[in-house]
Structure 1
Amino acid sequence: MTGRHTAILIIGSPEWTDLVEAAQHAWHAGRPDSARKLLSLAGPAAGRKALLLGEIELRDGDPAVAVHELTTAAGQLDDPGPALLLAGEARRLCGDVHGYRAMARAVPPTSDLMLAHFRGLAATFEGKHADAVEPLRDVVRLGMAATDVASAVWAAEAAFALGLGEKAFDCASAAVSRARPTGREAALPWALVQLSLAAIVLDRHEVALEASREGLAASAAQRTTRTEHLSLLALSAALRDDRETAQSHLDNAAAAIAKRGLGRPCAIASWAYACLDLADDRPADALARLDAMTAGVSGAQPAIQALATPQLVEAAVLVGQHDRAKHALKVFDGWVRTGGNAAWLALSHRCHGLLTDDVTHFETAIALHRKAGAAMELARTQLLYANRLRLRRRLLDARDQFRSALRVFQSIGAQRWTARAEAGLRAAGETVGAPKVSLAGLTPQQAAISQLVAVGETNKEIARRLVISHRTVDHHLRNIFTTLGVRSRVELARRVTSLEDDQA
């Protein structure tokens, strides 16, 4: 049977006499099973065949198998660049940074973009940011000067590594734009992954949601890429305190992550879980998840680790591990200050505010958040700043920051962060939004402590939630017992519950 007849039987088209070309057509049309069938029947042209098999395996199969197919293709093609770049991506998807660096050392100088991409990312992974700058800038320049989808994606990755968040967003947008009119449906979900991630880390969640929803719809035949979009949707939801949505996406991604060894989605899922832990006031759990990010399936994911630094620093500070926070922040600073991106510089200043007594870091962070248009992260910074101001007895200033944060949290339906801001307001003496329960004779902070005792929180948990010391909680509880005439936490909880029942 001729190639033309085989193509007619499998994909219904008489146009293709070369089965590898027919398979490529089927793949670009979103039909990976037909493409695999055609490739299984194709004869020689091993390099072209292995390249396409490797790309299909990368998007719809096992990235470890993709590495084998793609490195095989690179050794058989006159231009090994596309195959090597995809093989490098497969290694990074698996978290195999060691294998990636080994590839970078051996890559032939057949393509300026390919060579610069490997050199720049390898230097970044080794912590040699100064050495990475020039080759990564070359990748951005060359990738945006080209007209294909892949070059724009490589440019977006290079911009990320340079700390150029806005540039990464622009490059990813270009990749999506290039993918849409070409008939290369297989490239669109991949480009949308880059756009969604760029939007998330710039606090542009509506853009991220649109990108990954489109990515899910377009990647029904790309199970690996689909899993990447599920993990990104989970992260966006977690950052916005939407636990139900985040958990649903995480559950849907879990099986594929484990079965296919998808390190990058696994690391993003860990990041999402840590965000949920912080919203639930469980910083120890958040820190444990982030510390374990490179264990197991994730492998080494330096880019995701760097992006999750603000959550790691916050969690580490809350549990008293300041040295852990300082080490992570040093790496983060070396990265974000190279690019000068306002959104990421704001997060750096917030972290420094948590680690020092200098409140000007919070003020600088707030100004940078506003410049970047990062509403959710602005509110999170204002909440942390408000707690610091309250501890310094600057109650009027603290209430202003609590109110500003509260408005944002309420507007997006972030229930846990809303409750935290309301609790802070009450502790700072605010009456608006206070609970209906009346505990006459108590200060606002004592009333807040009584409420938390009633729901079963320990002194340690109360201290962390209200950002006060364990000793201060003990002192307030003694005064609460005296004022209300109760002798134990059980009696106090009954008193609060009784008042709530009377008002129900």
Structure 2
Amino acid sequence: MTVRHVLLLTAAAYESDPEGPRVDGGLVLRAAAAAGCGADALDAAERAGLERCPDGRLRLPGRRAVYEAAPPAHRRAAHGLLAAAAAGERQRAAGLLHRALATPYPDSGLGAELAAAAQLSGSSRGERATALAHAAALTADPAVRAERLVAAADQARLAGRPHRARELLGQVGELMPPDEVRGSAALVLGLLALRDGPVADARASLLLAARLCPEEQALGARLAAAEAAWALGDAEAYREAVGESRAGAAGAREFGLGMAAALGDRYTAGRAALRRVVAEAAEAGTPDALLRAGAAALVAGEVEAACRLGSRALAAARAHDAGPELPRALELLAYGELRAGRHARARAHAEEGLRAARGAGQRNVLAHQYAILALVASLDSTADTVARHAGAAQDIAARHGLVQAATLAQWALARADLARGRAAEAAARLGPLVRPGPRRGHFAVRMLAVPCFVEASALAGDPDGARAAVAEFAVWAERGYDPQAQAQLARCQALLAAGDPVRAEARFTEALARHDRTGGDFERARTADLHGKWLRRARRPAHARVLLRDALVAFERCGATVWAARTAAELRATGEAPRCGEPPGRLAELTPQQLRIAHCVAEGATNREVALRLSVSPRTVDHHLRNVFAQLGVRSRVELARLVDRAEGTVAHS
């Protein structure tokens, strides 16, 4: 046998999974040996580009060109050799597939054998998809053919090949299948759109599947339709979808009923049901069940449990060859770590999630990972970085109707504004999201963003605009949906009580005490920072310095460098000596108040806006700004902005 024949055998072996990266080296070598291939031919094949991998599998770059260049009779002969070389039950499906590829005419009996063998556990999902597609091609019965095409599409979906799944589904409609097969096709199509497409279309397809499929499948379709409604931000549609769940696996049924109750008026019963789902997840091993339990934990306020379940779901997805579930597991884990205040871990999982979602063709999951990265970047990265991640999330969200991703992205942009002292801009972003109205944010995110909105409104001089949001937040916090909520509520109440020093002091103190019980460096640092600012404006600099130092250390400990820089500037304004190396360059010549004003002006704020941020009069800002210009030797606000940018850039790269 010549080297050309060895290469053709390898290329033909790929036909059992055309998108697979490697093929079974043992199968190819047995086929080659049966045809009288000597060692010299194998060595020559390696010189011609055949690669032997450490796991014994083979890789052939340019395999399509090799396969398509061979005459059809030579291809069939190669498949015949591979079919004969397939040994044992684990290779039964591969052997039957190569028999089918070696047969130039339809064979319904062989198709039935191949379809049955494709269900065996020895094959990968990609191989099963290929086997079922060929089994469909071998049969003349339209109903059977449609059923096999749908099964092949589902295996392609599970293999992380959505384009191939859609190609296979595209062949089903013309066969006019029975309702049950139509329902299965609608289910697969809906699941594909749920991960990569307009989620309103996904919901419609999944609800159709729920009407046409048997009850066990119908429950899965309803839960997926509810997930689509969640992404859309439609709480009522979510409750309608899961509220009909009356049959199916007990865990899935209780999850649906618990979520419907928790998002409605029966929140106590709903939360109890979701906690049971979380507790029973100790027995769960499949990625889907673990992901469901992780979602239940987040809604029930069990953030640490959600992180544990996310880790288990990730491990299970890798172990079960569950391609579509891997990006979802990383999304759950990244979001859980974000809610827990572990931002570095959230970033690591979100970055891995980006790669996994791209590889699986799941743009909807990609949007959520970008939104999470934007939220993390609002702690320690430039405003441009936050805007880039948020823009990527919003671009997909706008096209696919992802209200949750869009709300998270806007929240991230508002946090970036807050970190840089742009309180009015942050309040303008968050106001429509947290207040009632047509632009209202996602029902599961709105309350999480309220503390940022209250802080922004108070610092922008409009605390009354946030009172209605705080009243709603108080009800939500009482239900225990987030472990940080009670501490955040006390902080919000302190910010709204600025005219009542006794009440404000009491609420700030209560907030810090609650933070100490629940943990979370970032939120505690924000409370200490705001309390310190309030004390400085109340002309209590010594007390302010204690809290601001505490906030600065906490921000640095959790990696919130942008917020730490803001707190350091506030600390200097109390009379604290600058830390070693700050402020940078010629800015070191300025007083703490002049430095704060210079930073605000460099960000584009008017004198009036600066006065509002710093709680001084516009005349005071004007006086300090003239001195800043004279001391730094600049003649315009543009020159000042350039000087500040250069100085900050020097520090960032030192």
Mapped pair 1:352 → 2:352: no
Aligned to 1:388: 534
Aligned to 2:205: 69
- Alignment partners' CA distance in 2, 1:449 and 1:246: 23
- Alignment partners' CA distance in 1, 2:251 and 2:464: 39
User: How much has 1:34 moved relative to structure 2?
Assistant: 1.1
- How much identity, in percent, do the aligned residues show? 32
Mapped pair 1:257 → 2:397: yes
Aligned to 2:609: 461
Higher relative contact order (CA 8 A, sep 6+): 1
Please say if residues 238 and 275 of structure 1, whose CA atoms lie closer than 8 Å, have aligned partners that are also in contact. Answer: yes
2:300 to 162, 168, 189: 162
Mapped pair 1:50 → 2:186: yes
Cα gap change, 1:327/1:178 in structure 2, threshold over 3 Å: closer, same or farther?
farther
1:331 partner letter: E
Aligned to 2:407: 267
- Secondary structure, counterpart of 2:151 in structure 1: helix
- Alignment partners' CA distance in 1, 2:575 and 2:413: 33
1:228 to 349, 356, 368: 368
1:28 to 143, 153, 158: 158
Aligned to 2:338: 200
User: How much has 1:53 moved relative to structure 2?
Assistant: 1.4
Gaps of 5+ in 1: 482-488
Deviations 1:114-140 (A, max 9, x none): 444344333444455334323333333
Please say if residues 525 and 555 of structure 2, whose CA atoms lie closer than 8 Å, have aligned partners that are also in contact. Answer: yes
- Alignment partners' CA distance in 2, 1:152 and 1:74: 22
1:228 partner letter: H
Please say if residues 66 and 87 of structure 1, whose CA atoms lie closer than 8 Å, have aligned partners that are also in contact. Answer: yes
Cα gap change, 1:371/1:284 in structure 2, threshold over 3 Å: closer, same or farther?
same
**More displaced 10-residue stretch of structure 1: 39-48 or 189-198:** 39-48
Aligned to 2:289: 151
- Alignment partners' CA distance in 1, 2:352 and 2:190: 24
Deviations 1:307-346 (A, max 9, x none): 2122112112223443443332333343344438654443
User: How much has 1:364 moved relative to structure 2?
Assistant: 4.3
Aligned to 2:317: 179
User: How much has 1:70 moved relative to structure 2?
Assistant: 0.9
- Secondary structure, counterpart of 1:147 in structure 2: coil
Please say if residues 96 and 299 of structure 1, whose CA atoms lie closer than 8 Å, have aligned partners that are also in contact. Answer: no
Normalised by the size of structure 2, how large is the TM-score? 0.66
Cα gap change, 1:350/1:317 in structure 2, threshold over 3 Å: closer, same or farther?
same
Please say if residues 427 and 453 of structure 2, whose CA atoms lie closer than 8 Å, have aligned partners that are also in contact. Answer: yes
Mapped pair 1:330 → 2:330: no
2:158 partner letter: H
Gaps of 5+ in 2: 1-105, 136-147, 498-502, 635-639, 648-654
1:421 partner letter: T
Deviations 1:361-380 (A, max 9, x none): 43444455455552333332
User: How much has 1:60 moved relative to structure 2?
Assistant: 1.4
Please say if residues 51 and 73 of structure 1, whose CA atoms lie closer than 8 Å, have aligned partners that are also in contact. Answer: yes
- Secondary structure, counterpart of 1:30 in structure 2: coil
Please say if residues 261 and 297 of structure 1, whose CA atoms lie closer than 8 Å, have aligned partners that are also in contact. Answer: no
Matches within 5 A, 1:241-252: 241-252=381-392
- Alignment partners' CA distance in 1, 2:629 and 2:248: 76
Cα gap change, 1:461/1:410 in structure 2, threshold over 3 Å: closer, same or farther?
farther
Cα gap change, 1:296/1:222 in structure 2, threshold over 3 Å: closer, same or farther?
farther
1:189 to 327, 346, 362: 327
Aligned to 1:497: 632
Please say if residues 423 and 613 of structure 2, whose CA atoms lie closer than 8 Å, have aligned partners that are also in contact. Answer: no
2:542 partner letter: L
2:194 partner letter: L
Cα gap change, 1:446/1:143 in structure 2, threshold over 3 Å: closer, same or farther?
closer
Deviations 1:412-444 (A, max 9, x none): 77564344223322221112247566889xxx6
Please say if residues 342 and 372 of structure 1, whose CA atoms lie closer than 8 Å, have aligned partners that are also in contact. Answer: yes
Cα gap change, 1:77/1:318 in structure 2, threshold over 3 Å: closer, same or farther?
same
User: How much has 1:299 moved relative to structure 2?
Assistant: 6.5
- Alignment partners' CA distance in 1, 2:600 and 2:451: 30
Please say if residues 162 and 192 of structure 2, whose CA atoms lie closer than 8 Å, have aligned partners that are also in contact. Answer: yes
- Secondary structure, counterpart of 2:170 in structure 1: helix
- Alignment partners' CA distance in 2, 1:68 and 1:40: 18
Please say if residues 201 and 307 of structure 1, whose CA atoms lie closer than 8 Å, have aligned partners that are also in contact. Answer: no
Mapped pair 1:282 → 2:422: yes
User: How much has 1:162 moved relative to structure 2?
Assistant: 2.1
Backbone CA RMSD of aligned residues: 3.5
**More displaced 10-residue stretch of structure 1: 184-193 or 37-46:** 37-46
1:138 to 276, 283, 288: 276
Cα gap change, 1:103/1:247 in structure 2, threshold over 3 Å: closer, same or farther?
same
Please say if residues 294 and 305 of structure 2, whose CA atoms lie closer than 8 Å, have aligned partners that are also in contact. Answer: yes
Normalised by the size of structure 1, how large is the TM-score? 0.84
Deviations 1:42-78 (A, max 9, x none): 4542222221111111001221111121111111222
Mapped pair 1:41 → 2:181: no
- Alignment partners' CA distance in 2, 1:293 and 1:458: 26
Please say if residues 239 and 272 of structure 1, whose CA atoms lie closer than 8 Å, have aligned partners that are also in contact. Answer: no
Aligned to 1:484: none
Mapped pair 1:291 → 2:431: yes
Structure showing greater Rg: 2
Please say if residues 258 and 270 of structure 2, whose CA atoms lie closer than 8 Å, have aligned partners that are also in contact. Answer: yes
Cα gap change, 1:218/1:350 in structure 2, threshold over 3 Å: closer, same or farther?
same
User: How much has 1:196 moved relative to structure 2?
Assistant: 1.0
Please say if residues 231 and 249 of structure 1, whose CA atoms lie closer than 8 Å, have aligned partners that are also in contact. Answer: yes
- Alignment partners' CA distance in 2, 1:142 and 1:413: 36
User: How much has 1:410 moved relative to structure 2?
Assistant: 5.3
Aligned to 1:486: none
Matches within 5 A, 1:292-441: 292-293=432-433, 301-339=442-480, 342-356=483-497, 357-369=503-515, 372-409=518-555, 416-433=562-579
- Secondary structure, counterpart of 1:137 in structure 2: helix
**Number of equivalent positions:** 485
**More displaced 10-residue stretch of structure 1: 115-124 or 228-237:** 115-124
User: How much has 1:446 moved relative to structure 2?
Assistant: 5.6
